[in-house]
Amino acid sequence: MKRPFLVVVAICASFVAWSAVGPVNAAEHLAIALDSLPSPAGPGSAEPNLAVSPDGRVYLSWHEPADSGFALRLAVFDGRTWSAAQTVRTGRDFFVNWADFPSVEALGGGKLAAHWLQRTGRPTYAYGVRVALSNDEGRTWSAPIVPHSDTSLTEHGFVSLWRENDKLGAVWLDGRKFKEGRSPQNEMTVVTTMLDPTGKTGEEVTLDARACDCCQTSAAMTVQGPIVAYRDRSPDEIRDIYFVRRVKGKWTNPAAVHNDGWKINACPVNGPAVAAIGDRVALAWFTAADEKPRVNLAMSSSSGQKFSAPIRIDEGNPTGRVDVAVLRDGGALVTWIERTGGDTAAVRLRRVDRKGKSGAAVTIAASSASRASGFPRMVIVGEHLMIAWTAPGRPSAVRVARLPLASIR
């Protein structure tokens, strides 16, 4: 059964889009109802992810300790209750990382796809992507499929999956340039492929030959085709957010969603998030250009062909770790983690309408700015928003809540 409780909403003195005035400040607070759903995840659970099937069911996946190793677990929410948790895969050779987490994609008709990461050798970052398919709602799974042809003892991760007709799209960061010491500067590439319903992989395509080495990718389907967002890495160490689209069967050249000019000689472990409905696209990201951390949102009404100027989302001291969803009215929702003092933080949510006007900042949960808090995830299902996040602790725990869209202003 769901348990209602109160969530605090910071009401802005005025609704301000991104400009030189900086972040929106909270002037007063309002309490609204939030449904706290019993989590199907057990003690020690972490790294949640969410997906929605075409029939409106919500799939929650997460890591959980099991048999001296880890398990990738899955549960389904039918609008009232969670199913019993199912195990997709267990192993002592899982690569488990707070920022590089597994996922499940609902393909419709009882078909599911899941991905996880598996160690391939002794080096710390020698691991590869594994994908499994299910035709019976996750009761049974295929043998693991390796979507990348490269088998070098290097990093292959930060995967995004998308549903495209009866096929599965996959994109990941690929460390094949590390082979034989050819990449002394930790250069990663962005690589994609398609899997057919039998699990057969198609042609691999390199989308970008030099990307940031440990920031998440993100992908969404528009009416024109898929759009993929990631953090680029220029020869001068500018690490802004770029995107590529596949239009009429061909991938476009990489382009910046905005020229932030963030120069950093390290990976910030803070990837973008992109979502789409029809030709409406929303892309959220974190940047700290000029030593000024902020969370931005850009929107498009042309399937990503052209984006708006950035709209600032945070309240002045963000950690980032964004997620984004597109509303049916053309607006967007953005979640992020905002520091509230020292290492304490909060999971925040803000609504932006299709014209770029920002609403109130909703505090979903108390959190931490540490790695243990991970990356909150959200999906829209019907008239509700569902959010999952990791509550740090010993043990950690995956939490889930549901919020009526009508209450987010």
Give the CA angle between residues 168, 147, 200 to the nearest 5°: 60
**Stated pTM of the model:** 0.93
Task: Delimit the domains of the chain by residue range.
Answer: 3-407
Q: Can you tell me the distance from the alpha carbon of 5 to that of 2, in angstroms, rounded to the nearest whole number?
A: 10
Specify the 3-state DSSP secondary structure of 179.
helix
Residue indicated by tokens 């393909």 = 107
Give the CA angle between residues 286, 51, 231 to the nearest 5°: 25
**CB of 400 closer than 8 Å to CB of 39:** yes
Among 326, 320, 318, CA closest to 299: 326
At the top level of CATH, the class of 3-407 is mainly beta
**CB of 154 closer than 8 Å to CB of 148:** no
pLDDT tens digit at each of 409 positions of the chain: 344 433 444 433 333 333 333 555 443 333 466 788 999 999 999 999 999 999 999 999 999 999 899 999 999 999 999 999 999 999 999 999 999 999 999 999 999 999 999 999 998 889 999 999 999 999 999 999 999 999 999 999 999 999 999 999 999 999 988 764 554 567 899 999 999 999 999 999 999 999 999 999 999 999 999 999 999 999 999 999 999 999 999 999 999 999 999 999 999 999 999 999 999 999 999 999 999 999 999 999 999 999 999 999 999 999 999 999 999 999 999 999 999 998 899 999 999 999 999 999 999 999 999 999 999 999 999 999 999 999 999 999 999 999 999 999 8
Give the CA angle between residues 333, 171, 197 to the nearest 5°: 105
Q: Can you tell me the distance from the alpha carbon of 36 to that of 58, in angstroms, rounded to the nearest whole number?
A: 15
**CB of 390 closer than 8 Å to CB of 372:** yes
Phi/psi at 197 (nearest 5 deg)? -60, -20
The span from the first CA to the last CA of the chain, in angstroms, equals 26
Q: Can you tell me the distance from the alpha carbon of 100 to that of 228, in angstroms, rounded to the nearest whole number?
A: 17
Alpha helices in 66-175 (DSSP H): none
Q: Can you tell me the distance from the alpha carbon of 75 to that of 30, in angstroms, rounded to the nearest whole number?
A: 33
What HEC string does 181-228 produce?
A: HCCCCCCEEEEEEEECCCCCECCCEEEEEEECCCCCCEEEECCCCEEE
